Amino acid sequence: MDLVQKSTGPRTEPSPTGVTKGSSEASSDRGDVQSRLGGTSRRVIQVCVTAALGGFLYGFAANAMSGTLAQTSFIALFLTTPNATSLMDALLAGFLGGAFVGSIVQAPISNKWGRRKANLAAALTSIVAGVLQSASYHIVMLLVARILCGIGAGMVIANSPVYMSEVAPPRTRGLLVGLQGVGIVSAYIACSLCALIFSFVNNPVQWRLTFIVLTVVAAGFACSLIFLPESPRWLMEKGREEQARAELERLHRTKSDPDGTLARAEATQIKAQVEAEKHLPKGYIYIFKTPHLRKRAFCSILLWVMGQGTGITAIANLIPVLMGGLGFGTTLQLGLGCAWTIAAIAGCIVNVTFLDKIGRVKLLVIGGITNATILATMTALVKYYLNSTFQPGINALVALYFIFGFAFTSTVECTSYVYGSEIWPTHLRSEGSTIAYASFFGNALAYSAPINLALKNIGWRYYLVLVCVTVVSTAILAVYFPETKNITLEEINAKFGDKVAVDLKDAIAAEVHAGTSPGKRVARTKETEIGTGR
């Protein structure tokens, strides 16, 4: 199969989108191609940082219950019954179950009305859920509100990386989409600080304050969507080509590419790929029946079998409780929870820094091996020192919790958000994200829902389960996942055996040549001014 149309000789027949293949004139401009690929515009950075507020919303919604479980007013109201442990598990499971549903619901909304409107629906759902949680007076009401909160959070965490991957340039897509992970862990810090600060409030309203802040965060995210453009790839898929080209030029014009050559070449490639895919079937049955799509689905599922198999969600949500099991008081529990999230955000910064340099698959494999090793060591320490008074053993276990948080976020956290969104073709990217995050929440639910009962009943052996899952899934991942760094979303198709309609470097070379031809430079300038409204 000819996967990518490339220059192979003196052929001059045009592609369906007007890129002349094999042109010696286009080939002579190849030396200018690399400079066009290298830059990242201030505009696209602003857009991705703003979009990462979706990650912040998810992180705050997910972690809001963590510190709340240690608040004295919350314990007095809801956790004084004999089934308190089961109620804690239900509150965690309710959120994750709702998020599982949300990750499915977002796909049809995103496909029909666009990425921005899907995030708006998620924000509005989160606002309603925040109000209900902060006003809860009965455990059933709180459980329902947590499920609704999970639906909104599941929608935004599944849709936001799709949007970010579709607006980011290929050379820095890992860094920019990885900001989703930075947003999530930043929210963990904010949430932990809220829990610590509000623990000093001597009033029954104490535990409700975190959920009031959550409502404000959701409202802020809804307002931020005003400043974001729609995804150019979604616009192109819907036949709004002029708007898509204009948005691409605004997003990808840089100092190294002042005339927007890369943006025009990307538009050519995107249009050709959309045209090639527009008559293809859609749906989950088609995905699992088609070999190259089925491989993507297995990659998306295995990605989070490994990620959640480390127990990261359970540990992140229960850090204050776990610290309580080591004998620390309420204030120190919450303080250590804050410190843990700072270690995690430091790891995220390392992760996004190296994503586009080391590559996605290498980081995932390094992360899997490292985290399995740490979990194995934690298993021994939990066996001998949890609920003991041997201070050196307790201190070592606390230190390992911090090392584990940093190790996971520096290798797996941001990498997974990027990889799960970028491996899918445009016409199935929302469905692909649903599969990835269904795995995310399904596995999170499997390891988090029973964690309190598991630690109570089988103790340290639960950590052995996490070690086994992480080791096996990492081994499969290492040989099964293709690398995707530094290439366009369309060219990732070739990694899975699909046809790429137009090679980006050919398209750039053709644009460079067109821009330097007599008479065409003026036409390009006028075209750019019209497209950008200048």
Chain mean pLDDT for the chain: 86
Q: What is the pLDDT of residues 27-70, one digit of tens each?
A: 444 455 555 556 789 999 999 999 999 999 999 999 898 888 88
Q: With bands split at pLDDT 50, 70 and 90, how would you rate the model's confidence at 23?
A: very low
How far is it between the farthest Cα atoms of the chain? 83
Q: With bands split at pLDDT 50, 70 and 90, how would you rate the model's confidence at 382?
A: confident
> Is the pLDDT score of 453 beyond 90?
no
53 touches 123 (CB < 8 A): no
Q: With bands split at pLDDT 50, 70 and 90, how would you rate the model's confidence at 306?
A: very high
What is the predicted pLDDT for the residue at 84? 87
Average of per-residue pLDDT across 91-113: 94
CB atoms within 10 A of CB 76: 12
State the Cα torsion 200-204-209-210 to the nearest 10°. 80
Question: Burial level of 242, CB count in 10 A (0-12/13-18/19+)?
Answer: exposed
Q: What is the pLDDT of residues 471-509, one digit of tens each?
A: 999 999 999 999 999 999 999 999 998 888 888 888 888
User: Which of 216-220, 250-254, 450-454 is predicted most confidently?
Assistant: 216-220
> Is the pLDDT score of 147 beyond 90?
yes
Higher pLDDT, 335 or 203: 203
Average of per-residue pLDDT across 252-257: 86
Query: Which residue's entry shows tokens 């409107």?
Result: 117
Average of per-residue pLDDT across 359-375: 96
Both tokens assigned to 281: 């079937």
> Is the pLDDT score of 528 beyond 50?
no
Residue 120: partners with Cβ closer than 8 Å, 6 or more residues away: 222, 225
Q: Encode 185-244 in three state secondary structure.
A: HHHHHHHHHHHHHHCCCCCCCHHHHHHHHHHHHHHHHHHHHHHCCCCHHHHHHCCCHHHH
Q: Residue 268: what residue type? A: T
Q: What is the pLDDT of residues 122-145, one digit of tens each?
A: 999 999 999 999 999 999 999 999
> Is the pLDDT score of 342 beyond 70?
yes
For residue 458, CA distances in Å to 372, 401, 450 come to 19, 20, 11
Q: Residue 321: what residue type? A: V
Q: With bands split at pLDDT 50, 70 and 90, how would you rate the model's confidence at 6?
A: very low
* pTM confidence score: 0.84
What is the predicted pLDDT for the residue at 27? 46
What is the predicted pLDDT for the residue at 36? 57
> Is the pLDDT score of 234 beyond 70?
yes
CB atoms within 10 A of CB 476: 14
Q: With bands split at pLDDT 50, 70 and 90, how would you rate the model's confidence at 8?
A: very low
> Is the pLDDT score of 407 beyond 70?
yes
For residue 11, what is the DSSP state? -
Average of per-residue pLDDT across 157-171: 95
Both tokens assigned to 371: 């985290």
Q: How far apart are CA 453 and CA 86, in angstroms?
A: 7
Residue 12: partners with Cβ closer than 8 Å, 6 or more residues away: 20, 21, 22, 23
| Candidate from 206-210, 300-304, 366-370, 462-466 with smallest mean pLDDT | 462-466
> Is the pLDDT score of 3 beyond 60?
no
> Is the pLDDT score of 252 beyond 70?
yes
What is the predicted pLDDT for the residue at 38? 61
Q: How far apart are CA 487 and CA 359, in angstroms?
A: 11
